[in-house]
Structure 1
């Protein structure tokens, strides 16, 4: 059986047993008046406890219209930046807006000169050093948000510009600060002369792909913002409909899957052309739904041919394609989605909000994300205080360039790196998952992402029921899937990968370096995971290049 819902430039195709399950939920959503209530911004849709926060977080529904003013607001500054030769845009920020900006720049059409856009949502000193070694004479830094990563990177680039010989006035014009009005970043920006861009106060980062925080850096890099918003606006016109509403159909499919115990959402791209979009969808699904011991775990795989796509059991597959009837592998998957980028952003925002109602969770609350942040701060003592203290215990196993940090009993006598990795896979409970969390250089050590398919393939050979394997870059994942790791079902096993720092970067005005901050973030999150009873282990690369090659070889 197949159900196809097409409207507003989006097609959602649902096949097999998913049709009956989702149609039951879809009928209930329609009879409850959810489509009209949601588009009318009824904050009570997720229960009375969620209503106060929801009332301040539903602005994303109007972004296809309200964001249209952004190009005009940025026209003057953009012309000034181009005139000064600033065509290398570095985004210093984390979470949904940074990931969305990257996907927009990689996917959407651009007008005028095509600027370079670099998303720097990391504290890895090697990655930051690589960006600093680029052409600072062409570089404009867009600071998004007010977390420790954004604040630290702003200080680092400030010193770099100063050391490059820029005057105080020239340095001030090299930053664009994107934040809420009345916030500390705005006050600081105005004091020192940075250009300030005001963001919406009723949109949070997870649901803000069409908001100012994501669109401002993309627009400065030449993205055709009106075209992107027009794609979303076409879909916005059908979201009130109880039927022939692809976003409601997708929300019903996601919600019914979670209710039915299929709480792993395998996301695979099959020629959609939406480069970087799965990473954005991952942070939305995990963060909005992973709490109160419930949720959907997004498992982003490289393609429909990759290890882990054909998992059985508690899995729902979603394929992002160019057409709803795209031929080839994976066509039998439960759900396929096709449509342009702007509409996809709004589609998934709406669908996940609907799925949260079905699942009975507050999509806008993030009750567990602060734990790792607080744990990191404790390890650092404070940003204003003494130097950080991180206790380094001896490894349980050393294999050439790789240290294995785990309790002796967890290794169960493993003598080699390959045996240790197999014990971690074997420790994943039935119905659970393995999360690989790499605190490395996303650019220079991109090969680390290959650990996911290799571990998935190894797990398939070890276990009767292979386990889902996810991959995340640290600290990016803390703002993406971190909420699910700590607030979702307690069935994850976590494998961190850290690396020796050979070129550290001091953070001006702070008693720590980026390398120390990165390690504190890794240790802080590990400490929280262990306090919640989640098994969390760490591989440390004593030499990054040799250690990574050794890991890949041990699995390959």
Structure 2
């Protein structure tokens, strides 16, 4: 299979959607106009935003000059024995480098959290050998700014000049751009005509990945090799086919189940999750990505589209009610999915380039942060090491245990709905908590997503609030083993993550979503109690 070979093979309802929509997309010249950066493709309301968000179509070529610069800087760091790369970034700034490095088998520490224990663990890991990449498109992302501040102080305390260890990636002219340049830091500017979730092949994806040792030149080669194919107004165009399958089933199968079926792109589902959810989940519409690992739970539901991520050389045929197999090189697949999601946005009738509800949650978090810890509402009750609160519709009734609260939440789940588990814990140390998704999905016979906070706020968080109003939400928070100050700030990391979880719950409640908030007052005891309650509820 050559680099230019991308495969999109569909059966059932997915194949019907391709047959129904691709000929019209070809007749409209959609692909050619997309790659010519035509901002009118999603209607007049989207034109302003789309007009400054379409440069990603040419990144296979336009990002090429970055490769030599990044490789030269990596060589300088290697000469000094600096071989541990830490990425401080959120959303699109972290998810693409994570999949690029994972697929290339090179280590990269991704710090995309404000959870104090996770931040401290990163700070204490090989500081003498560490290079930190600080990535923020806006230059004002509070999580990333906070992470930068603690790393600067850690380097200073160790007698290390932070300007020799910290590399900044941001848009030209951002507050961070000016501050970093004035401070003597190395700065890479990304293409400002590309939105965060489409930025995999910009400096945001390439700088941390290249410094960590990934072959970013090959990645761009792979993308460039498929650009003409994806820009072609032809019924064989894989982006039109995948976009039609995603956004054109009748009735719309709006739960997109992403299955690892042999792909060599490790973590690709997590990257695609943000691209799909943040691009489509708005105006009460959208596609909910459900990342399930190597197999779904139970039989395929009538509102589920299975998307199997296969190896580039996989020539097997899918089977099922509505299934798509997608394969190709990593660079090619990234460009394919970006074009396909833009296509699906046209079919669904939304602007795929804005994210209004991400900002609403940030604003609510800032309000709570300013109000202080006294603004936290008292729990409805406490069961052992777990405080129980609810937000949105009053559904707890006479519940008195964690198990009772879970049952009360699940009773709010509509027939076409989903459960989102949102865990504001240490994503590395507590990674096994994500396994609760499986028994919950089996019990509820509905899609269940799992996200670590605040990471998911830059991903599925948009869909939760802007998409269809059929989700119920389980929020898990915890007391850190030890809080961590943020240099130059009046709040700590613990204060910050509390405000993020509280702000997210507040906005969900304002949208009428049922939210069960479980706070672990003692982390180990509370976690064991929660897992026991979930086991008990799902077994009954």
Q: Tell me how far 1:172 sits from its aligned partner.
A: 1.5
3-state SS of 2:169 partner: strand
In the alignment, structure 1 residue 395 sits paired with structure 2 residue 379: yes
3-state SS of 1:45 partner: coil
Aligned to 1:156: 150
Aligned to 1:90: 86
In the alignment, structure 1 residue 284 sits paired with structure 2 residue 278: no
Aligned 8 A contact 1:10 1:339 in 2: yes
Superposed, 1:504-519 pairs within 5 Å as 504-519=483-498
Aligned 8 A contact 2:368 2:375 in 1: no
Aligned to 2:412: 427
Deviation track 1:412-432 (CA, whole Å, cap 9, x = no partner) reads 333432332222222111211
In the alignment, structure 1 residue 471 sits paired with structure 2 residue 450: yes
Aligned 8 A contact 2:12 2:320 in 1: no
525, 531, 534: which one aligns with 1:546? 525
Aligned to 1:68: 64
Change in CA separation of 1:272 and 1:261 when aligned onto 2, cut-off 3 Å: same
Aligned 8 A contact 2:3 2:328 in 1: no
In the alignment, structure 1 residue 222 sits paired with structure 2 residue 213: yes
d(CA) in 1 for partners of 2:373 and 2:522?
22
Aligned to 1:255: 247
Aligned to 2:366: 377
Aligned 8 A contact 1:90 1:120 in 2: yes
d(CA) in 2 for partners of 1:187 and 1:97?
19
3-state SS of 1:430 partner: coil
Aligned 8 A contact 1:176 1:194 in 2: yes
3-state SS of 1:46 partner: coil
d(CA) in 2 for partners of 1:356 and 1:477?
21
Of 65-74 and 122-131, more deviation after overlay is shown by: 65-74
d(CA) in 2 for partners of 1:64 and 1:37?
18
Change in CA separation of 1:336 and 1:285 when aligned onto 2, cut-off 3 Å: same
Q: Tell me how far 1:327 sits from its aligned partner.
A: 7.7
Deviation track 1:328-381 (CA, whole Å, cap 9, x = no partner) reads 9x7665111111211110110000000111111111111221111111111122
Aligned to 2:102: 106
Q: Tell me how far 1:472 sits from its aligned partner.
A: 0.7
Aligned to 1:414: 399
289, 295, 302: which one aligns with 2:286? 295
Aligned to 2:169: 178
Aligned to 1:445: 430
d(CA) in 2 for partners of 1:173 and 1:478?
32
d(CA) in 2 for partners of 1:372 and 1:307?
31
Superposed, 1:301-312 pairs within 5 Å as 301-304=292-295, 306-307=296-297, 310-312=299-301
Of 8-17 and 435-444, more deviation after overlay is shown by: 8-17
343, 355, 358: which one aligns with 1:366? 355
Aligned to 2:333: 344
Aligned 8 A contact 1:376 1:521 in 2: yes
Q: Which runs of 5+ in 2 are unaligned?
A: 536-540
Deviation track 1:287-320 (CA, whole Å, cap 9, x = no partner) reads 111111111011111221x426x34121111111
Aligned 8 A contact 2:262 2:309 in 1: yes
Aligned to 2:439: 454
488, 503, 523: which one aligns with 2:467? 488
3-state SS of 1:307 partner: coil
Q: Tell me how far 1:409 sits from its aligned partner.
A: 5.0
Aligned to 2:198: 207
Aligned to 1:384: none
In the alignment, structure 1 residue 314 sits paired with structure 2 residue 297: no
Aligned to 2:41: 45
Q: How many residues align?
A: 529
Aligned to 2:501: 522
The CA RMSD measured in Å over matched residues stands at 2.0
Aligned 8 A contact 1:103 1:277 in 2: yes
Q: Which runs of 5+ in 1 are unaligned?
A: 1-5, 382-386, 460-465
Of 433-442 and 400-409, more deviation after overlay is shown by: 400-409
